Each structure stands twice: as structure tokens, then as C-alpha cells.
Structure 1
Amino acid sequence: MNPPTIQEIQMQPVVRQAAMAMAVTPAAWSTGLCDCCDDIGTCIITCFCPCITFGRVAEIIDRGTTTCEVSAVLYAIICCLTGCHWILSCFYRKKIRNIFFLEDSPCPDCLLHFCCDTCALCQEYRELKNRGLDANLGWKGKSDRETVIMAPPAVERDMVRENMQ
């Protein structure tokens, strides 16, 4: 048997991380899709002008690379010209799920945004808020955002670490 190459040794941590990620089941959303009245202010804003809520969510998810205003205008333009704004918000829901390792429920992202875009936007906004990210303040509103948004998903303490050889 040949000794492992340098590339194989360097890849071992990556392989371990991938195996751990597959072993962890996705977490549930912190609030339900229809819990819009838990944050009545956001609910009202989203009902009358969903582009604002979308812009706030997008700015946080994009880590400030696009501003709330730019995202909101893009959402509004797509909505006015094509009516397919739900496709844009669908992509951001997927980004949120990937960042926080959330389950794809109650149905696939695009179907959810197609059928109930405002409820989905409110749920995404509440998720960020419940995780310590105040979308009203924007990305630069809090200095510790990078550590909050990039935190890995919680792992069960009684998981056993296996040697991967």
C-alpha cells in the first residue's frame, strides 16, 4: 500500500467537513410561513411594498455587496415588467437556506414564492431577525454580522467522530 500523497493529506479536512455536513439534518425555520402577524410592521410593509422587505433581506444575504435600495428597485422593475419577481426572491430563499442549513419546507422555494411571495419574504425577514441580524439596520448596521451569518450549523454533541483513512 502506497503512503498518502500530499494532495490526499491536504484533502482530508475537506472530506471530513463534507461527511459531517451530510450527517447533519437541516434545521427547521424559526417561525412558520403563516406567522406573519408575529412582526406586524414587516407584515404591513411587505403587503403594500414587498420590494422593501426583499431589499432588506437581499442586502443582508449579499453581505452588503448590493444595497437595500438597489435590490428593491431591481425587484420592483422585474415585478412591473414581467411579473416574475418571485423568481428573484426564490433565489434568495435558497441562499438563506444554504447559509443557515434550513429545511426546504413547507414546499420547494420557487413554488412557495410563486404562490405566496409576501408570506415567504416575511418568514425570511423574521429568520434573519431571530438570528440576530436586524435587516432594518442594513449590513453595516452591526459590526459582528460576519460572525453571525457565517456561523456553521449546530451539531449534536453526542456525534462520534470517525477516523477517515
Structure 2
Amino acid sequence: MSHPVIMNQPQIVTVQRSDWQTGLFDCCDDCGVCLCGIFCPLCLGCQIASDMDECCFFGSSMAMRSVYRTKYGIPGSLLGDFCAVMCCGLCATCQLKRDINKRRDMGMF
């Protein structure tokens, strides 16, 4: 009986932990994002989805926030994402867009 020969060891990918670039209620950090969120939240959600190469329908959802948080090692939980989106959806959407913009400016997105 022949056994397969392993040529390479599996690689372990570690995600560097970080925090949100701005707080949930730091709307004044980027007034353009805030105004877009107030007057056209669907447009802001579509911008987020486009940034993340996802369907526009999922732009400001709990799932999108969770995927983003996991990708960048931002501490939190599904319950926290759910509460942020359900209790303060506009603030959560603006926070996500501000974070994307700041990470893009730093060359991390």
C-alpha cells in the first residue's frame, strides 16, 4: 500500500488584530459619509458593497459588517454586529464606510 508524500506543510494564516478606525458615533470624523448616510443610506450601502466586491443588496447588513470585522481582525461578535445594525443601523453603516475609507488611505484595504 502506497502512502502519499506530503511536500508542503499547511500554512496557518493569522489575522492581525486591530480596532475600528473610528467609533460607532464618530459621525463628525467624515461629514461626507455622514451626510450621504443621512440623505441616501441606500447609496452608502451600495458604495460599501461595491468596495467589498459584494452585491449591493448586502451593503449595510450584519453579515457584511461581520465579514469586514473578521477580515481585519476587529474584535467583536455576531451579537454585537446584530445590535449595532439593528439598534443604530445608520451609525453602523457610516462607521463601516469610514473604516473602509481610512484603511484605503493607509493602503491597508
| TM-fit CA distance, 1:98 | 2.2
Return the structure number with greater helix share.
1
Query: CA separation in 1, counterparts of 2:24 and 2:51?
Result: 20
Letter in 1 for 2:68: I
Tell me the TM-score normalised to structure 2 length. 0.78
1:61 to 2:33 alignment: no
Q: Which has the higher contact order (CA 8 A, sep 6+)?
A: 2
| TM-fit CA distance, 1:37 | 1.1
Letter in 2 for 1:35: D
| TM-fit CA distance, 1:13 | 3.6
Letter in 1 for 2:20: W
Identity across matched positions, percent: 30
Aligned length: 105
Gaps of 5+ in 2: none
Q: Which runs of 4+ in 1 moved over 6 A?
A: none
Tell me the TM-score normalised to structure 1 length. 0.54
Which has the greater radius of gyration?
A: 1
Gaps of 5+ in 1: 76-84, 134-146, 150-165
CA deviations on 1:39-79 (whole Å, 9 max, x unpaired) are 112112212221111100111112xx64xxxx1xx46xxxx
1:40 to 2:31 alignment: yes
Query: CA separation in 2, counterparts of 1:53 and 1:95?
Result: 17
Query: CA separation in 2, counterparts of 1:93 and 1:61?
Result: 11
Query: CA separation in 2, counterparts of 1:6 and 1:33?
Result: 51
Q: How much is the aligned-residue C-alpha RMSD, in angstroms? A: 2.7
2:97 to 125, 128, 149: 125
1:50 to 41, 44, 51: 41
